[in-house]
Protein backbone atom coordinates (compact mmCIF):
# COMPACT_ATOMS: atom_id res chain seq x y z
CA UNK A 1 0.00 0.00 0.00
CA UNK A 2 1.19 3.48 -0.84
CA UNK A 3 2.52 5.44 2.10
CA UNK A 4 3.34 9.10 2.77
CA UNK A 5 6.48 9.96 4.75
CA UNK A 6 8.18 13.16 5.84
CA UNK A 7 11.97 12.99 6.20
CA UNK A 8 12.90 16.06 8.21
CA UNK A 9 16.02 17.70 9.59
CA UNK A 10 14.75 20.55 11.76
CA UNK A 11 17.01 21.55 14.64
CA UNK A 12 14.76 24.38 15.89
CA UNK A 13 11.36 23.59 14.36
CA UNK A 14 11.09 26.08 11.48
CA UNK A 15 11.70 23.46 8.81
CA UNK A 16 9.17 21.17 10.47
CA UNK A 17 6.53 23.93 10.44
CA UNK A 18 6.98 24.48 6.70
CA UNK A 19 7.00 20.71 6.06
CA UNK A 20 3.76 20.28 8.02
CA UNK A 21 2.01 23.02 6.03
CA UNK A 22 3.14 21.45 2.76
CA UNK A 23 1.78 18.05 3.76
CA UNK A 24 -1.53 19.14 5.31
CA UNK A 25 -3.33 17.03 2.69
CA UNK A 26 -1.22 13.87 3.24
CA UNK A 27 -3.13 11.11 4.95
CA UNK A 28 -1.45 9.25 7.83
CA UNK A 29 2.01 10.57 7.04
CA UNK A 30 4.87 9.09 9.05
CA UNK A 31 8.03 10.98 9.98
CA UNK A 32 11.71 10.12 9.88
CA UNK A 33 13.71 12.52 12.05
CA UNK A 34 17.13 13.17 10.50
CA UNK A 35 18.24 15.00 13.64
CA UNK A 36 18.40 11.78 15.65
CA UNK A 37 22.07 11.02 16.29
CA UNK A 38 21.45 7.39 17.23
CA UNK A 39 18.84 6.18 14.73
CA UNK A 40 19.92 3.52 12.21
CA UNK A 41 18.81 5.11 8.94
CA UNK A 42 19.68 2.04 6.87
CA UNK A 43 16.46 0.44 8.14
CA UNK A 44 14.30 2.82 6.09
CA UNK A 45 13.35 1.99 2.52
CA UNK A 46 10.49 2.89 0.22
CA UNK A 47 8.50 1.45 -2.66
CA UNK A 48 7.90 3.03 -6.09
CA UNK A 49 4.31 3.98 -5.21
CA UNK A 50 5.34 5.84 -2.02
CA UNK A 51 5.49 9.60 -1.67
CA UNK A 52 8.12 11.31 0.44
CA UNK A 53 8.86 14.87 1.49
CA UNK A 54 12.49 15.68 2.33
CA UNK A 55 12.95 18.93 4.26
CA UNK A 56 16.15 20.60 5.44
CA UNK A 57 17.22 24.10 6.43
CA UNK A 58 19.80 25.99 4.42
CA UNK A 59 23.00 26.48 6.42
CA UNK A 60 25.37 28.89 4.69
CA UNK A 61 23.50 28.36 1.41
CA UNK A 62 24.03 24.59 1.58
CA UNK A 63 22.24 21.55 2.96
CA UNK A 64 23.59 20.45 6.37
CA UNK A 65 26.14 17.69 5.61
CA UNK A 66 24.97 15.50 8.50
CA UNK A 67 21.43 15.53 7.07
CA UNK A 68 22.72 14.58 3.61
CA UNK A 69 24.82 11.76 5.10
CA UNK A 70 21.83 10.33 6.95
CA UNK A 71 19.59 10.67 3.89
CA UNK A 72 22.16 8.73 1.84
CA UNK A 73 21.50 5.64 4.01
CA UNK A 74 17.77 5.61 3.16
CA UNK A 75 16.67 3.70 0.06
CA UNK A 76 14.25 5.54 -2.21
CA UNK A 77 13.56 2.70 -4.68
CA UNK A 78 12.00 5.21 -7.13
CA UNK A 79 9.53 6.66 -4.62
CA UNK A 80 8.42 10.12 -5.72
CA UNK A 81 9.68 12.94 -3.58
CA UNK A 82 9.17 16.61 -2.81
CA UNK A 83 12.21 18.63 -1.70
CA UNK A 84 11.87 21.47 0.78
CA UNK A 85 14.62 23.89 1.64
CA UNK A 86 13.86 26.31 4.46
CA UNK A 87 15.93 29.43 4.93
CA UNK A 88 16.10 32.47 7.19
CA UNK A 89 15.41 35.32 4.77
CA UNK A 90 18.97 35.67 3.41
CA UNK A 91 19.42 33.14 0.54
CA UNK A 92 19.50 29.40 -0.02
CA UNK A 93 21.98 29.36 -2.91
CA UNK A 94 22.93 25.71 -3.71
CA UNK A 95 20.78 23.98 -1.07
CA UNK A 96 18.10 22.70 -3.45
CA UNK A 97 20.46 21.37 -6.14
CA UNK A 98 22.49 19.64 -3.46
CA UNK A 99 19.31 18.07 -2.10
CA UNK A 100 18.25 17.11 -5.63
CA UNK A 101 21.56 15.30 -6.20
CA UNK A 102 21.40 13.56 -2.81
CA UNK A 103 17.78 12.46 -3.31
CA UNK A 104 18.65 11.12 -6.77
CA UNK A 105 21.59 9.16 -5.38
CA UNK A 106 19.30 7.60 -2.79
CA UNK A 107 16.96 6.49 -5.55
CA UNK A 108 14.14 9.04 -5.15
CA UNK A 109 12.38 10.67 -8.13
CA UNK A 110 12.12 14.38 -7.43
CA UNK A 111 8.78 15.71 -8.69
CA UNK A 112 8.52 19.03 -6.85
CA UNK A 113 10.58 21.41 -4.77
CA UNK A 114 9.86 24.30 -2.47
CA UNK A 115 11.98 27.05 -0.96
CA UNK A 116 10.25 28.40 2.13
CA UNK A 117 11.19 31.12 4.59
CA UNK A 118 11.24 30.60 8.36
CA UNK A 119 12.57 32.63 11.26
CA UNK A 120 16.35 32.73 11.27
CA UNK A 121 17.39 30.26 13.94
CA UNK A 122 20.53 32.19 14.93
CA UNK A 123 19.41 35.79 14.41
CA UNK A 124 15.76 35.52 15.27
CA UNK A 125 14.98 39.11 14.28
CA UNK A 126 15.25 38.04 10.63
CA UNK A 127 11.99 36.58 9.26
CA UNK A 128 10.67 36.75 12.83
CA UNK A 129 7.42 34.82 13.26
CA UNK A 130 7.58 33.15 9.85
CA UNK A 131 6.01 31.02 8.55
CA UNK A 132 3.14 33.42 9.31
CA UNK A 133 -0.49 33.50 8.16
CA UNK A 134 0.39 34.55 4.61
CA UNK A 135 3.01 31.79 4.38
CA UNK A 136 0.54 29.30 5.75
CA UNK A 137 -1.97 30.16 3.03
CA UNK A 138 0.69 30.04 0.33
CA UNK A 139 2.28 26.77 1.44
CA UNK A 140 -1.16 25.17 1.69
CA UNK A 141 -1.76 26.24 -1.94
CA UNK A 142 1.55 24.66 -2.88
CA UNK A 143 0.44 21.45 -1.17
CA UNK A 144 -2.64 21.34 -3.42
CA UNK A 145 -0.61 21.96 -6.58
CA UNK A 146 1.89 19.26 -5.63
CA UNK A 147 -0.95 16.81 -4.95
CA UNK A 148 -2.40 17.56 -8.41
CA UNK A 149 0.94 16.72 -10.04
CA UNK A 150 1.18 13.51 -8.01
CA UNK A 151 -2.36 12.48 -8.89
CA UNK A 152 -1.74 13.14 -12.57
CA UNK A 153 1.19 10.72 -12.44
CA UNK A 154 3.36 13.50 -13.83
CA UNK A 155 7.07 12.95 -13.08
CA UNK A 156 8.47 15.73 -15.28
CA UNK A 157 11.95 16.88 -14.24
CA UNK A 158 12.53 20.17 -12.48
CA UNK A 159 14.82 23.03 -13.22
CA UNK A 160 16.12 24.20 -9.85
CA UNK A 161 18.20 27.27 -9.06
CA UNK A 162 21.73 26.68 -7.77
CA UNK A 163 25.25 25.91 -8.97
CA UNK A 164 27.30 22.77 -9.55
CA UNK A 165 29.94 22.56 -8.24
CA UNK A 166 28.33 23.88 -5.06
CA UNK A 167 29.64 26.83 -3.14
CA UNK A 168 32.36 26.12 -0.60
CA UNK A 169 31.19 25.15 2.88
CA UNK A 170 32.43 27.36 5.68
CA UNK A 171 32.09 26.94 9.42
CA UNK A 172 30.43 29.61 11.52
CA UNK A 173 32.51 28.65 14.52
CA UNK A 174 29.75 29.81 16.83
CA UNK A 175 29.41 27.22 19.57
CA UNK A 176 26.65 27.78 22.18
CA UNK A 177 27.60 27.54 25.83
CA UNK A 178 25.67 26.94 29.04
CA UNK A 179 24.88 30.02 31.13
CA UNK A 180 24.99 30.29 34.92
CA UNK A 181 21.39 29.09 35.27
CA UNK A 182 22.28 25.67 33.84
CA UNK A 183 20.82 22.93 36.06
CA UNK A 184 22.72 20.21 34.20
CA UNK A 185 19.50 18.53 33.09
CA UNK A 186 21.34 17.23 30.03
CA UNK A 187 18.51 17.79 27.55
CA UNK A 188 20.87 19.70 25.23
CA UNK A 189 23.26 16.74 25.08
CA UNK A 190 20.45 14.25 24.48
CA UNK A 191 18.91 16.35 21.71
CA UNK A 192 22.06 17.46 19.91
CA UNK A 193 21.83 16.21 16.27
CA UNK A 194 25.59 15.67 16.09
CA UNK A 195 26.20 14.37 19.62
CA UNK A 196 28.58 17.28 20.17
CA UNK A 197 27.75 17.75 23.85
CA UNK A 198 29.25 15.43 26.44
CA UNK A 199 26.68 14.60 29.14
CA UNK A 200 29.43 14.90 31.76
CA UNK A 201 30.67 18.30 30.49
CA UNK A 202 27.57 20.24 29.53
CA UNK A 203 29.17 23.67 29.69
CA UNK A 204 30.37 23.72 26.12
CA UNK A 205 30.40 21.47 23.05
CA UNK A 206 32.94 19.76 20.83
CA UNK A 207 33.66 22.46 18.28
CA UNK A 208 34.74 19.88 15.70
CA UNK A 209 31.23 18.35 15.86
CA UNK A 210 29.01 21.38 16.57
CA UNK A 211 27.28 22.69 13.43
CA UNK A 212 25.80 25.76 15.20
CA UNK A 213 22.29 24.48 14.47
CA UNK A 214 20.89 26.02 17.69
CA UNK A 215 19.01 22.90 18.79
CA UNK A 216 20.61 23.09 22.25
CA UNK A 217 19.66 26.76 22.62
CA UNK A 218 16.10 26.08 21.45
CA UNK A 219 15.46 23.14 23.80
CA UNK A 220 17.11 24.51 26.95
CA UNK A 221 14.36 24.58 29.62
CA UNK A 222 16.25 27.28 31.54
CA UNK A 223 16.80 29.37 28.40
CA UNK A 224 20.36 29.69 29.54
CA UNK A 225 22.26 28.12 26.65
CA UNK A 226 23.46 30.91 24.41
CA UNK A 227 25.90 32.19 21.81
CA UNK A 228 28.51 34.79 22.54
CA UNK A 229 26.65 38.11 22.52
CA UNK A 230 29.38 40.13 20.81
CA UNK A 231 29.72 37.57 18.01
CA UNK A 232 25.98 37.47 17.57
CA UNK A 233 25.75 41.26 17.38
CA UNK A 234 28.56 41.39 14.81
CA UNK A 235 26.94 38.68 12.68
CA UNK A 236 23.56 40.45 12.86
CA UNK A 237 25.10 43.68 11.68
CA UNK A 238 26.97 41.96 8.85
CA UNK A 239 23.82 40.21 7.61
CA UNK A 240 21.34 43.02 8.20
CA UNK A 241 21.19 44.17 4.59
CA UNK A 242 21.19 40.68 3.04
CA UNK A 243 18.39 39.56 5.36
CA UNK A 244 16.18 42.61 4.97
CA UNK A 245 12.93 42.77 3.00
CA UNK A 246 10.40 39.99 2.92
CA UNK A 247 11.76 37.10 0.85
CA UNK A 248 9.20 35.04 -1.07
CA UNK A 249 8.44 31.36 -0.88
CA UNK A 250 8.90 29.53 -4.19
CA UNK A 251 7.38 26.43 -5.77
CA UNK A 252 9.11 24.40 -8.50
CA UNK A 253 6.96 21.89 -10.37
| Residue 10 interacting with ligand FMN (CB under 6 A) | yes
Q: From the list 44, 87, 108, 252, which residue makes contact with ligand FMN (rule: CB under 6 A)?
A: 87
50 versus 160: smaller Cβ distance to ligand FMN? 160
- Residue 84 three-state SS: strand
| Residue 142 interacting with ligand FMN (CB under 6 A) | no
Strand order across the beta sheet in which 80-87 lies: 30-33, 4-8, 51-57, 80-87, 109-117, 250-252
Q: From the list 5, 26, 50, 58, which residue makes contact with ligand FMN (rule: CB under 6 A)?
A: 58
80 versus 211: smaller Cβ distance to ligand FMN? 211
44 versus 59: smaller Cβ distance to ligand FMN? 59
213: left (phi over 0), alpha (psi -120 to 50) or beta: alpha
Q: Contact region for ligand FMN (CB under 6 A) — 20-28, 42-50, 59-67, 193-201? A: 59-67
Angle between helices 14-22 and 133-151 (to 10 degrees): 50
Q: From the list 5, 23, 89, 106, which residue makes contact with ligand FMN (rule: CB under 6 A)?
A: 89
Where are the extended beta strands (E) located within the chain? 4-8, 30-33, 51-57, 80-87, 109-117, 250-252
Which residues form the interface with ligand FMN (CB under 6 A)?
Answer: 10-15, 57-61, 86-91, 118-122, 172, 212-214
Amino acid sequence: MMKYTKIIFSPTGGTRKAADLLTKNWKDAGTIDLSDAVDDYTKYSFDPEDVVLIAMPSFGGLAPQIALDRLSRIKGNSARCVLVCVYGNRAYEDTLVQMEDAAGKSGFQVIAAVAAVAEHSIMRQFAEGRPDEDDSRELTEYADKIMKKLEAGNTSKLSLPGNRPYKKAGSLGMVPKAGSDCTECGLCAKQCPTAAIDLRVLKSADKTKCISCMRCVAVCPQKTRHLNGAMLAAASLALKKACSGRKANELFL
